[in-house]
Amino acid sequence: MPVQKRVSLLFALFVWGLLLLRFGYRYGTGDQVELLPYTLYLHQPQLYPHDFFIQGLNASIPNERTVMATLLLPFVNHLEFFCFLFQMFTTVFLVLGLERIALRFVRHKYLAWLAIITALIPLNDFGLGNVEVYSECLQASGVTCALVIWALNLFLDRKYLWVAVLLSIGTFIQVLDGLDIMMVLSAMLLWNYLQNQVSCKTVLSWFVLFGLTAGIFLVLILYQKSIGTFSTSHLLSPSETFKVMIEFRHPHHFIFATFSKGKIAVYAFLTVVALIYFFRQSKQLFRFVLLSTIGLLIYIIATDIFHLLFIADFQFYKVTQWVKFLGVVAALGFVSDYLWKKEDYQFPKVMEQTLLAFGGAASFVIIIFFHSHLPYTVPYQLFGMKQQEDILRICESIQTATPPDAVFIQPFENTELKFYAQRSSYVEFKANVRHKAYVAQWYDRIQEVFGVNDEMKLQGFKLQQRADEHFYHLSSEELQKLKQQGVGYILTQKEYPPALGKLILENNSYAVYQL
């Protein structure tokens, strides 16, 4: 391997170590609650017989999780190892792509590296809508983002058909992360065509290639979401669905008015910096930032003001993670071009590689031996380290202490039960079915178990507090009603025994009761 490629690979591994150190690692929890249990279900259809999310998701095939879950099926017997391995590969592939972009414009290599680290760590979560290119666990969006950054590189190299191939694959894996960027790059390609910079044949080939691959997949998903029935009292109207799914369940992803003003200010600043810098340095990236910004303004108006559900579903904030990164590159590009007066000092190659390898190794030493002394708390669900969490231990015990068809209710924020216990949930806030036939029933169950609704206008931690307060104090009458609807078990914090039920499991922090 050439020395420079080896240095880039070591840098990518070093950044991966820093990201693990700062944001931790999740396995089977968090965003994976919608992916890994579904993979287990596809492998063993007898699992989760009464789980509201799994059964609702599988009622529509294909769905937004079908491809990623299917890709993991060959590794289902060794998921823990391969999820960790694939998360590493995905992150390294992503960082290498980010480096390729940065080095096009930032003359000093170390400043280019600084741009990447700045965008991924201190400016994490400053893309609007809680979307970021890096994820602390293996998930479909992370895989697609790693493909998108290379699609951007290939677009700059004018290899348009390869771009369409990568974005098609990315759209299969995570619909919105691939589709939203495809929309922006398609507009750029048409702009180039109008300026006689690409041929009509190239444009037609671009759209035909995407349309006959990912396009067919998108049509199938939309068709599946438009059909089907479920045992619910009614189907919600588009306006009611908007209130439940967008304003109540996902405002942090969709509603601009709910975003932090500080994050908006930082993002706006980086957008302006990117527009100014790339106006001179790269017509293509200038157009990318400009078209993304115009599209974002249209999206905000359509979603926040007119409540158009079809437009809102595109979650166009997926483009902001890339605009933010380009803004950071532009800022460091200015430094490199105009303020960096010193000679471009470089460490000797051997020392450079040694320092990068040492830095990556040091991250893992801190994670394994000294994570309890860090000034922040993040999950480190890495192999044996995850056994330190009481919630994971009791969920694993549930597998042997309850029958396979058991149905649970659990605290509002819980995402551990489904994968680690392999038991059905009556309802969950995190894992919710997006099919129109299931939205009303999901909303009804959320109100039954957690006592929260859209009228409360609560978000984030305040919503969690209100929901858990209701959950931990469910009356015997409410629990009896839930029992009649099939709920047989309660996972709760130890200090909140339910008004009804028999204790069957407990540890330092949690307890399980049978109704």
This prediction's pTM: 0.95
Same domain, yes or no, for 133 and 274? Answer: yes
Q: What is the 3-state secondary structure (H, E, C) of 189-215?
A: HHHHHHCCCCCHHHHHHHHHHHHHHHH
Give the model's pLDDT for residue 230: 46
Q: Using pLDDT thresholds of 50, 70 and 90, give the confidence band for residue 338.
A: confident
Residues sharing a CB contact under 8 Å with residue 39, sequence separation 6 or more, in sequence order: 69, 72, 73, 76, 79
Q: Which two tokens stand for residue 25?
A: 């690692």
Q: How far apart are CA 42 and CA 68, in angstroms?
A: 12
Same domain, yes or no, for 285 and 412? Answer: no
Residue 86 lies in a domain: no
The domain of 140 spans 105-339
**Residues 444-460: what's their mean pLDDT?**
94
Residue 231 or 162, more confident: 162
Same domain, yes or no, for 299 and 192? Answer: yes
Give the model's pLDDT for residue 344: 62
**Residues 64-70: what's their mean pLDDT?**
96
Give the model's pLDDT for residue 169: 98
Residue 349 or 408, more confident: 408
Q: How far apart are CA 65 and CA 48, in angstroms?
A: 16
When the pLDDT of each residue in the chain is averaged and rounded to a whole number, the result is 94
In DSSP terms, which residues pair with 139 in a beta bridge? none
In DSSP terms, which residues pair with 502 in a beta bridge? 514
Residue 319 lies in a domain: yes
Residue 429 lies in a domain: yes
Same domain, yes or no, for 306 and 426? Answer: no
* First vs last C-alpha separation in the chain: 62
* Helix, strand, coil abundance in the chain, percent, nearest 5: 70, 5, 25
Same domain, yes or no, for 295 and 438? Answer: no
**Residues 121-144: what's their mean pLDDT?**
94
- Domain closes at, from 303, 323, 339: 339
**Residues 392-401: what's their mean pLDDT?**
96
Q: Using pLDDT thresholds of 50, 70 and 90, give the confidence band for residue 348.
A: confident
Residue 55 lies in a domain: no
Same domain, yes or no, for 128 and 209? Answer: yes
Inter-CA distances, 440 with 76, 258, 342, 445, 507, Å: 33, 24, 63, 9, 36
Q: Residue 227: exposed, middle, or buried by beta-carbon count in 10 A (0-12, 13-18, 19+)?
A: exposed
**Residues 247-272: what's their mean pLDDT?**
96
Same domain, yes or no, for 413 and 507? Answer: yes
**Residues 74-98: what's their mean pLDDT?**
98
Residue 475 lies in a domain: yes
Give the model's pLDDT for residue 343: 56
Residue 21 lies in a domain: no
**Residues 163-183: what's their mean pLDDT?**
98
Residue 85 has pLDDT above 70, yes or no: yes
Beta strands across the sheet bearing 502-506: 424-425, 407-409, 489-493, 510-514, 502-506
Residues sharing a CB contact under 8 Å with residue 120, sequence separation 6 or more, in sequence order: 15, 19, 95, 98, 133, 134
**Residues 310-330: what's their mean pLDDT?**
97
Give the model's pLDDT for residue 2: 85
Same domain, yes or no, for 219 and 323? Answer: yes
CB atoms within 10 A of CB 272: 14
Same domain, yes or no, for 273 and 400? Answer: no
Q: Which two tokens stand for residue 61?
A: 């095939």
Residue 284 has pLDDT above 70, yes or no: yes
Name the DSSP class of 136: S
Same domain, yes or no, for 168 and 271? Answer: yes
Q: Which helix (H) or strand (E) holds 323?
A: helix 320-334
CB 411 within 8 A of CB 473: no
Residue 436 or 246, more confident: 246
Q: Which of 84-98, 122-136, 267-281 is the least confident region?
A: 122-136
* % residues pLDDT > 70 (the chain): 97
- Domain closes at, from 280, 311, 339: 339
**Residues 238-264: what's their mean pLDDT?**
95
Residue 251 or 436, more confident: 251
CB 403 within 8 A of CB 46: no
Structural domain total, the chain: 2
Give the model's pLDDT for residue 228: 54
Same domain, yes or no, for 149 and 289? Answer: yes
CB atoms within 10 A of CB 348: 8
Residue 427 lies in a domain: yes
Task: State pLDDT tens for residues 416-429.
Answer: 999 999 999 999 99
Taking each continuous run of H as one helix and of E as one strand, the counts in the chain are 23, 5
Q: Which two tokens stand for residue 92?
A: 């390294």
**Residues 78-85: what's their mean pLDDT?**
98
Q: Which two tokens stand for residue 338?
A: 């105009």
Q: Which two tokens stand for residue 229?
A: 């029935």
Give the model's pLDDT for residue 362: 97
Same domain, yes or no, for 297 and 420? Answer: no
**Residues 7-21: what's their mean pLDDT?**
98
**Residues 52-61: what's their mean pLDDT?**
92
- Domain closes at, from 339, 371, 402: 339
Give the model's pLDDT for residue 340: 63
Q: Using pLDDT thresholds of 50, 70 and 90, give the confidence band for residue 95.
A: very high
Q: Which of 175-179, 230-234, 495-499 is the least confident region?
A: 230-234
Gyration radius (Cα) of the chain, Å:
24
Q: Using pLDDT thresholds of 50, 70 and 90, give the confidence band for residue 394.
A: very high
Task: State pLDDT tens for residues 461-473.
Answer: 899 999 999 999 9
Inter-CA distances, 240 with 230, 257, 314, 428, Å: 17, 19, 18, 20
Residue 447 lies in a domain: yes
Q: Which helix (H) or strand (E) holds 467?
A: helix 460-471
